[in-house]
């Protein structure tokens, strides 16, 4: 527990600074997390005897994020997905050591990690960049409230075959906690949309749990406990950002659909 706390003490100020300044620091932070997270995901796939095409994933990540940031080729938004599908279809033909399954795993990793994380940049570039805080408040606030609610009140298992420690009571506590935290944030920074922000917190908590469970399924299938050990006490980057992967797109599209 002490190691976990110390890691958080070191990492949290960096995260706060990156989110506060946004712009280039956020872009570079998202790029770094995407590349490390993709490396961890591909490592998990190797445990399943798949051979992800690392260089292709890394190249796609950099082009994708630079494009979303508007640094290169903003006029061709579908270049990366279309280009990657074509390239990853050709590679098994040119290099028989790779199979189509390896290409599929490579493409899924590109979608699962950098594409989902890219929504952090998209929120920052939108009309309400302060909503970036909501991604982390919802995901990690929900996780914190769920942990303590489950610890004191948890009785019924939520998904025992996927994540044995999660409980129904914890999930409810997490959702209510995320709604309250979002409401407090909305009162001070998005007061014109207070009720919608609270609804976002409630629904976002459910989405963040799905992100967490997805990561658990992948790890359980691969037979690993953590994606890595870059954050002592927390595991790898994906172990800490698994719920963020789903929450960031949710916040972005929720705001877009309801015209924040």
Q: Which residue ranges make up each domain of the chain?
A: 2-257
Gap between the Cα atoms of 231 and 222, Å rounded: 20
- Indicate whether 260 pLDDT > 80: no
**pLDDT exceeds cutoff 70 at 237:** yes
Between CA 241 and CA 251 the distance in angstroms is 15
Q: Is the sign of the CA dihedral 219, 224, 225, 231 positive or negative?
A: negative
> C-alpha 161: how far from its chain's center?
22
Please state, in angstroms and rounded to a whole number, the distance separating the CA atoms of residues 53 and 115.
17
In three-state secondary structure terms, 171 is: helix
**235: β partners:** 231
% of the chain exceeding 70 in pLDDT: 98
Q: Is residue 233 over pLDDT 90? A: no
Each residue's pLDDT tens digit, 66-112: 999 999 988 898 899 999 999 999 999 999 999 999 999 999 999 99
The structure's pTM equals 0.96
The confidence score (pLDDT) of residue 192 equals 92
The answer on pLDDT for 2 being more than 90 is no
């Amino acid at each position: 527990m002490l190691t976990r706390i110390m890691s958080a003490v070191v990492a949290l100020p960096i995260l706060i600074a990156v989110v506060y300044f946004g712009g280039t620091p956020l872009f570079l932070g998202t790029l770094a997390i995407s590349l490390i997270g993709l490396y961890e995901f591909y490592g998990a796939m190797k445990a399943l005897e798949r051979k992800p095409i690392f260089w292709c994933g890394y190249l796609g990540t950099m082009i994708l994020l630079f494009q979303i940031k508007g640094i290169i080729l903003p006029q061709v938004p579908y270049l990366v997905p279309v280009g990657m599908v074509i390239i990853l279809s050709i590679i098994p033909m040119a290099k028989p050591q790779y199979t189509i399954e390896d290409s599929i795993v490579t493409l899924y990793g590109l979608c699962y990690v950098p594409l989902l994380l890219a929504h952090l940049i998209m929120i920052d570039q939108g009309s309400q960049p302060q909503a970036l805080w909501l991604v982390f408040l919802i995901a990690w606030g929900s996780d914190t409230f769920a942990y303590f609610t489950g610890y004191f009140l948890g009785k019924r298992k939520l998904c025992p075959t996927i994540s044995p420690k999660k409980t129904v009571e914890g999930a409810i506590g997490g959702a209510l906690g995320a709604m309250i935290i979002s409401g407090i944030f909305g009162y001070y920074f998005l007061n014109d949309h207070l009720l919608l922000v609270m609804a976002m917190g409630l629904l976002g908590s459910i989405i963040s749990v799905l992100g967490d469970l997805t990561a658990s399924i992948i790890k359980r299938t691969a037979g690993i406990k953590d994606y890595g050990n870059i954050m002592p006490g927390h595991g790898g980057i994906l172990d800490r950002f698994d719920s963020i992967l789903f929450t960031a797109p949710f916040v972005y599209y929720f705001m877009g659909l309801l015209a924040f």
